[in-house]
Structure 1
Amino acid sequence: MKSVPLYLASIVAAGAPAFAQNYTWTNHPSELPYYGQSPPVYPSPQTNGTSSSRWAAAYAKAREILAQLELEEKVNITGGYTGACVGNTGAVPRLGIEPLCFADAPDGIRGSDFVSAFPSQSHLAATWDKDLFLAYGKAIGREYYDKGINVALGPVAGPLGRIAKGGRNWEGLSSDPYLAGWGMYQVTTGMQSSGVIATAKHFLFNEQELRRRPNQTYDPIGEAISANVDDRTAHELYAFPFYDALKAGAACVMCSYQRANNSYACQNSKLLNGILKTEMHFEGFVVSDWEGQHTGIASANAGLDVVMPLGSTYWGANLTQAVNNSSVAVDRLDDMVTRTLAAYYYLEQEDYPDVGVFSDTEEHPIVNVQRDHKKIIREIGAAGHVLVKNVNNTLPLKAPQFVAIYGYDADIKAEPWENVARYGGGYEVNHLWNTFNGTLIVGGGSGGNIPPYVISPFKAIQDQVIEDGGIVRWNFWSEQPHVSATAQVCLVFINAYASESFDRPSLVDEFSDNLVKNVAKNCSNTVVVIHSAGVRLVDPWIDHENVTAVIFAGTPGQESGHSLVDVLYGATSPSGKLHYTVARQESDYGNLLDHTISDEWFPQSDFDEGLYIDYRAFDAKLNVTPRFEFGFGLSYTTFSYANLHIEDLSSADNTSVSAFPDASIPLVQGGHPQLWDTLYNVTAVISNNGTTGASGAEVAQLYLGIPNAPLRQLRGFDKVGPLAPGESATAVFELRRRDLSIWNVVEQQWELQKGSYKLWVGASSRDLRLEGEIVVS
């Protein structure tokens, strides 16, 4: 690989003004390695469980079974079918090998009953809380386990959120790879601790819905979009969080629909054989996205292990023939089967509950897996609410006696109830959200879930007002509702929907903006709550003098109303932070606003912004100021930052401070072990210095200025508290080798560069309170 002739030249980063005015690739990405063309990487690596004793034991059991299988039985394991689950692997009855059951979604089981509807993973990311990340994974994993589902189709770091209008951004864990990486690590750890196989998806570059699949209904029809990404960007942005999932032991990875550098992702040898199975040393199995396979022999040799949902179109008897005529090596087929069986044994699924996912076409036993998960759903729901405006401490509410509620998002549209709670779709299908546009608890498509019930904002607020002895008035559907002059607070509920299969048409909507302005015109205390599956712009009304508070309420799941009331009435002080940038107008996102539109038979989407997405792109533009920056969020109190301390740990191990990891050390799942060495320990003291008397938690954030890279990149966060007034706590940030490294495309390794690394700690990507420096020599 060292024959690559070009090194990805750095972006001028010496000095903020010059950097901001001149951010550009010294070599255009189209001139750089692997941009627009995907190099071949063969053969597909075989592995034997060297990452850990647990993987080794799983591989030993898998090989024992493999030795007993006939050719057709091996092939049967690689091919999926739709049965009790959204996907099932083939079985080998004579050896007692049952099908593996696969099911959506990353935020709760789809297509079943007596399951919980968790907040979306985007909402989870807004908590910036590693403990909640883990608790979320454990609870979801337990429901999958109790339903007898072997493979959960989540967590999600693809899409990462390159374009603001991306239809599936809400399924993922932030537009920043570091925050998404921690989410992937903790959710994977939690899910697999419950006994279910976690599936890290979608690998890789699945950043738009338009033409994500071939022969969709466009004019003209043709192949899927090709996401053209240079090698450094592929590693430092899009693959980055998948390293964390693999480090946590993820036993399954799902490849994506679109083409990557003009080769379909599920038959892309560079992505699967090269990055995933060689560099990351992945020991589990790769499954196709549903109907994401487009060739037989090529996909097998490129590293695909299991195909869903049907294995007979390209594999099945065709794969048997390909093995017999040596188009696919027996060793490759054996590796497919061994990886799949090893994942099963790695999660110790030999004694597993019976599958409890049923069709609604016949009577079936109740398998109730909800447990007490409503508690963690409510807690995560509240923690993911982001307060962005709060004039004169409007919030928390202090038991107002006359509460007026407006907007279609405040409640569930009640009819026609005879069609509610159907199987097979998510919340938007089963509760007719698309048709009647009620309160939004989650996005649409295969990432959606099915709630056992929905606590709407209206229900929870009304219950609170009843308890306070007050009155409620409401108007859910009018754009120009009557506003009583007696109302003490007017709560306006709007939302922004997103779904798989299409990208969002806009980041605003006229009806909702007019509703806010019409209420605010007549109510001096207007509080706006936005349930949003992604970025929602607010400039048409955010500066209105009567809009006194604004909450980005995300997609909080079944306990939506309870979570909101916890925040509105002060039982929980808001601590959520934005995990994307909210611009002032759509044009501020530039080329990162919308999907690539192409009428070509082989459409192309050039990721020529390289590393510069979201806040990295905004930091590079002096003349564009976001409305709310990445990492921003208010509390009911305020916090001070002090006593920045940087401890150099690298001197304890001289090998860890070399430019490249030690090549003599074997790789483990998640890459080279030295990538995870902690080189620096950074601390800062956070204090509640507010005057309101409120306790609160603060998400302290560390940003690093890596040489030859964007101006600032998130490389640490720690949620401290809740802190009482006057109380202090220490935020701790561990900087690992990987956190300081860039991808060297010539050496094909992670490189720790010599030089000065500026370091900032603060409350957001632009509210930077403390500054320091690391010098790597």
Structure 2
Amino acid sequence: MDLLKTVYHKFREPWGSREQAVLSTKTAVTLFCAACSLQTGSEVSELPYYGLSPPVYPSPAGNGSTNAGWASAYDHAQNLVSRMTVEEKVNITRGWPGACAGNTGEVPRLGIPSLCFADGPSGLRGQEFVSAFPAGIHVAATFDRHLMYQHGRALGSEFHGRGVNVALGPAAGPLGRVARGGRNWEGLSNDPYLAGAGMGAITRGMQDAGVIATPKHWLLNEQEFRRRWTPTTGDAISANVDDRTLHELYAFPFMDALREGAGAVMCSYQRANHSYACQNSKLMNGILKIELGFEGFVVSDWDGQMSGVASANAGLDLVMPNAGFWGDNLTQAVRNGTLSEERISDMVTRILAPWFYLRQETDYPPPAIYTNTQKHLPVDVRADHAKLIEEVGAAGTVLVKNVNNTLPLKKPKFLCVYGYDATLKASPWQNRDRYSGAYDENFGWNTFNGTLITGGGSGSNSPPYVVSPFQALQERVTKDKGILRWDFHSDNPAEPYVNADACLVFINAYASESFDRTSLTDEFSDRLVLNVASWCANTIVVIHSAGIRTVDAWITHPNITATLFAGLPGQESGHSLTSILYGDINPSGRLPYTVARSESDYGRLLNSSVSADPFPQDSFTEGLLIDYRHFDKHQITPRFEFGFGLSYTSFAYANLSASTTATTKNLLAEFPDPNIPVVQGGHPALWDIVAVARCTVTNTGPVDGAEIAQLYVSVPRAGGEDSESPVRQLRGFVKVGPLAPGQREEAVFELTRRDLSVWDVVAQQWRLRRGVYRVWVGASSRDLRVGGSVVVG
């Protein structure tokens, strides 16, 4: 323990120079390995890779080499920075009190304003006259790149309209490794390819609206338990991961956001391979800025900075929400040579370059951010976003059971509605019948408190109103001259209505920042469903869920005829749902995660780490095998697999063809040409299309509908065996249609070099393996309709 304390202080000490930083890091790693050897009795050489984060110094200076837009932005930024004093430069790198969630320093004499930062990934939090968009996990469930982009564009326009320079989103960290993770709903699925598609499309949409996007949290922020250092619990969890997994799983989706020009990245709270993420030089200097060519700035999560000069040298550019360990201390460090003036200049250049890149220096709206107690004129930025929110809400709704065409409803005259999630009104024993827009005041803040449209914490939003399922059902039933009966509070409704056409039961599963879920189900809701199903022969269950929700307590009950995972759909929740229930829209949503039959099927990936150690560890020994990859590898049958979702029609797949592209140069080269400069998003060759797969999809059913065709790839094994690789992994999806009955359309999947590559930990490069790549296309990760192969080498 004494040796571990020495390691702890060695990592936290204020390093005086880059050379000292390297020496200190090497010393700390050596001490850590020695400590492990002493505690376990094993030789250092036998220890696993986990926990090693090689130092990468110095922090590389940005140069705007990605494209002409970045080059111009850097020219403008460098010109301004060259005219600034050290004190002015330091002032730009820190947060100040202000109206926004974060506010940078300003330099009035040079026309540099304070930049406004605000949450979050699903709407401008805590404000009036803004929209409440669907959560990230719901957007991912659409499997629709066009809607992902439109979502980002609308979201960005609201931030822009309120004068917010930097929007804190989208999120791919957490990726969803831990099934009960409290913030999984903010992210864009448990699969890096799907999450990457969402990260790229949303980032492009937000920045097309003129707002700097901030992909977060970089990197390995996969649980809420002990995510931060506190004086009572001690250090934050250390997420320890091997190099291949780091690249192929967790950094993978961020590459798409960078490729689309992301101007900022937020580093995370926890430790990564034993070094706090906001001072981890391997993550920020090595991977983000060197390997992926990041041109923008790295901002700390709020109060996430854990050191001074060390974090600056490791690649952190901006600390929020105040001075942290910087301010006057950073000025002194530059004056005494501890921090080079080149580094502080690069920090400021990186902060200002995205400002110029998105042309925010010209006619950008001033911040219109107010507290609830401030009297102000309304600044309404919602436009017609309600229509898009309703469309995305419906597109991300997943039908998982539909016996004998129970749905769509056929103008029923008598509906019964049950469950706390059906309406806005909370149960009488809860004293939370209000919404104020504050940090944790959300609809559905816990079970039994009304319909759930978002999760809790900084990723929540501020709805101008909420269309509840009950409200929308009333509108439909009134139009059809029918009747409704309801009970929102009891788990055992007293009076059965035997003449009802259908009984709809609404339940939810809440999650929030600051804590992880304790269960993927709850007894109250399960009792409610079973009690209604005990007498109602046509019971339809609707789940608004912040993530995985197990259903085996009741899903096979013969009276439960239909079930929908309705996600976190935002303010138009009821309208989105009823458009599916009544068949105005044929459901096409797909599950962005795996729903197990039993919670224990997730194995060690069910719970966050519960270590009480002062230096808590969580080694990601499962490697690449999370979610459906875990189920496939261990041959576990899920209840509903990743990518699963039903339709009101049916589809047939045929005529799969797959081949390498004739125009691809050097396809068989093991590594991309190292002489070609890296651009933002990685080596340009990684984005070359190296193979194309095609198949036909035909609507064989009775009504119009769209199909989500999904492509999965199996990478050749190294030397015949490769226990680290998934059985197959998603590498393409296309929304086909809507198609009329009998109509056929070709689905085309373009595969990039990155899609088919693995990360070579020795060469430190992406590599195409020679051999046969198996390819499947189908309706889910386990409903694979047609197969083929591509040969490399």
Q: TM-score range by the shorter chain?
A: over 0.9
Corresponding residue for 1:172? 187
Task: State the distance in 1 between where 2:419 and 2:432 align.
Answer: 24
SS of structure 2 residue aligned to 1:647: strand
Counterpart residue identity of residue 154, structure 2: A
CA apart distance, 1:87: 0.3
Which digits, 9 at most, give the CA deviation of each residue in 1:49-102, with x for residues without a partner? 000000000000001110110110000000012311000110011112111100
1:723 aligns with 2:739: yes
Q: Is the CA contact (8 Å cut-off) linking 1:29 and 1:230 kept in structure 2?
A: no
Which digits, 9 at most, give the CA deviation of each residue in 1:479-507, with x for residues without a partner? 10022111110000000000000000100
Which digits, 9 at most, give the CA deviation of each residue in 1:204-250, with x for residues without a partner? 00000000001165xxx110000000000000000000110000000
- Among candidates 311, 332, 338, match of residue 321 of structure 1: 332
CA apart distance, 1:435: 8.5
1:668 aligns with 2:683: no
Counterpart residue identity of residue 84, structure 1: A
> 1:330-369 counterparts in 2 under 5 A?
330-350=341-361, 351-369=363-381
Counterpart residue identity of residue 360, structure 1: N
After alignment, is 77-86 or 206-215 more displaced?
77-86
CA apart distance, 1:421: 4.5
CA apart distance, 1:417: 10
Q: Is the CA contact (8 Å cut-off) linking 1:741 and 1:750 kept in structure 2?
A: yes
Q: Is the CA contact (8 Å cut-off) linking 1:78 and 1:305 kept in structure 2?
A: yes
SS of structure 2 residue aligned to 1:643: strand
Counterpart residue identity of residue 265, structure 2: V
Corresponding residue for 2:720? none
Q: Is the CA contact (8 Å cut-off) linking 2:203 and 2:262 kept in structure 1?
A: yes
CA apart distance, 1:361: 2.2
Counterpart residue identity of residue 329, structure 1: S
Task: State the distance in 2 between where 1:159 and 1:431 align.
Answer: 22
Task: State the distance in 2 between where 1:628 and 1:436 align.
Answer: 25
Could you say if the C-alpha distance between residues 543 and 488 of structure 1 is closer, same or farther in structure 2, counting changes exceeding 3 Å?
same
Corresponding residue for 2:12? none
SS of structure 1 residue aligned to 2:256: helix
Task: State the distance in 1 between where 2:102 and 2:141 align.
Answer: 31
1:618 aligns with 2:631: yes
Could you say if the C-alpha distance between residues 389 and 423 of structure 1 is closer, same or farther in structure 2, counting changes exceeding 3 Å?
closer
1:769 aligns with 2:782: no
Instruction: Give structure 1 stretches of 5+ with no counterpart.
Output: 5-27
Task: State the distance in 2 between where 1:261 and 1:521 align.
Answer: 52
- Among candidates 451, 459, 462, match of residue 463 of structure 2: 451
CA apart distance, 1:681: 1.1
Counterpart residue identity of residue 771, structure 1: G
Corresponding residue for 2:541? 528
- Among candidates 416, 422, 442, match of residue 436 of structure 2: 422
- Among candidates 514, 539, 542, match of residue 555 of structure 2: 542
Could you say if the C-alpha distance between residues 432 and 165 of structure 1 is closer, same or farther in structure 2, counting changes exceeding 3 Å?
closer
Q: Is the CA contact (8 Å cut-off) linking 1:30 and 1:608 kept in structure 2?
A: no
Corresponding residue for 2:708? 699
Task: State the distance in 1 between where 2:185 and 2:372 align.
Answer: 28
1:117 aligns with 2:132: yes
Task: State the distance in 2 between where 1:250 and 1:132 align.
Answer: 19
Counterpart residue identity of residue 694, structure 2: T
- Among candidates 497, 505, 508, match of residue 484 of structure 1: 497
Q: Is the CA contact (8 Å cut-off) linking 2:443 and 2:449 kept in structure 1?
A: no
Counterpart residue identity of residue 424, structure 1: A
- Among candidates 590, 594, 597, match of residue 577 of structure 1: 590
- Among candidates 382, 395, 398, match of residue 410 of structure 2: 398
Task: State the distance in 1 between where 2:555 and 2:432 align.
Answer: 40
CA apart distance, 1:121: 0.8
Task: State the distance in 1 between where 2:704 and 2:291 align.
Answer: 46
SS of structure 1 residue aligned to 2:76: helix
Corresponding residue for 2:96? 81
Could you say if the C-alpha distance between residues 470 and 130 of structure 1 is closer, same or farther in structure 2, counting changes exceeding 3 Å?
same
Task: State the distance in 2 between where 1:724 and 1:653 align.
Answer: 36
- TM-score scaled by structure 2? 0.92
Q: Is the CA contact (8 Å cut-off) linking 1:296 and 1:319 kept in structure 2?
A: yes
Task: State the distance in 1 between where 2:267 and 2:208 align.
Answer: 23
Corresponding residue for 1:16? none
Q: How many residues align?
A: 742
> 1:151-300 counterparts in 2 under 5 A?
151-215=166-230, 221-300=233-312
Task: State the distance in 1 between where 2:739 and 2:47 align.
Answer: 52
CA apart distance, 1:362: 2.2
Q: Is the CA contact (8 Å cut-off) linking 2:239 and 2:619 kept in structure 1?
A: yes
> 1:634-653 counterparts in 2 under 5 A?
634-649=646-661, 651-653=662-664
CA apart distance, 1:422: 2.6
Task: State the distance in 2 between where 1:431 and 1:731 align.
Answer: 39
CA apart distance, 1:717: 0.4
- TM-score scaled by structure 1? 0.94
After alignment, is 431-440 or 96-105 more displaced?
431-440
Task: State the distance in 1 between where 2:230 and 2:308 align.
Answer: 18
SS of structure 1 residue aligned to 2:99: coil
Counterpart residue identity of residue 438, structure 2: G
- Among candidates 91, 99, 103, match of residue 114 of structure 2: 99
Counterpart residue identity of residue 320, structure 1: T
Corresponding residue for 2:34? none
Task: State the distance in 1 between where 2:747 and 2:288 align.
Answer: 33
Task: State the distance in 1 between where 2:578 and 2:340 align.
Answer: 60
Instruction: Give structure 2 stretches of 5+ with no counterpart.
Output: 1-21, 27-43, 718-724
Corresponding residue for 1:9? none
Q: Is the CA contact (8 Å cut-off) linking 2:664 and 2:689 kept in structure 1?
A: no
- Among candidates 27, 37, 48, match of residue 63 of structure 2: 48
Counterpart residue identity of residue 343, structure 1: P
Corresponding residue for 1:743? 759
After alignment, is 355-364 or 172-181 more displaced?
355-364
Task: State the distance in 2 between where 1:30 and 1:365 align.
Answer: 66
Q: Is the CA contact (8 Å cut-off) linking 2:713 and 2:731 kept in structure 1?
A: yes
Task: State the distance in 2 between where 1:38 and 1:653 align.
Answer: 35
Task: State the distance in 1 between where 2:572 and 2:65 align.
Answer: 43
Task: State the distance in 2 between where 1:435 and 1:82 align.
Answer: 35
Q: Is the CA contact (8 Å cut-off) linking 2:445 and 2:456 kept in structure 1?
A: no
Q: Is the CA contact (8 Å cut-off) linking 1:704 and 1:712 kept in structure 2?
A: yes
Corresponding residue for 1:754? 770
Could you say if the C-alpha distance between residues 239 and 430 of structure 1 is closer, same or farther in structure 2, counting changes exceeding 3 Å?
closer
Task: State the distance in 2 between where 1:528 and 1:647 align.
Answer: 44
Task: State the distance in 2 between where 1:655 and 1:31 align.
Answer: 38
CA apart distance, 1:365: 1.6
Percent of aligned positions that are identical: 62
Task: State the distance in 1 between where 2:280 and 2:559 align.
Answer: 55
Task: State the distance in 2 between where 1:270 and 1:297 align.
Answer: 16
Task: State the distance in 1 between where 2:491 and 2:456 align.
Answer: 25
CA RMSD, aligned part only? 1.8
Counterpart residue identity of residue 479, structure 2: E
Task: State the distance in 1 between where 2:691 and 2:107 align.
Answer: 51
CA apart distance, 1:347: 0.7
Corresponding residue for 1:631? 643
Corresponding residue for 1:565? 578
SS of structure 2 residue aligned to 1:668: coil
Task: State the distance in 1 between where 2:785 and 2:128 align.
Answer: 48
CA apart distance, 1:432: 7.4
Counterpart residue identity of residue 746, structure 1: V
Higher relative contact order (CA 8 A, sep 6+): 1
Q: Is the CA contact (8 Å cut-off) linking 1:137 and 1:189 kept in structure 2?
A: yes
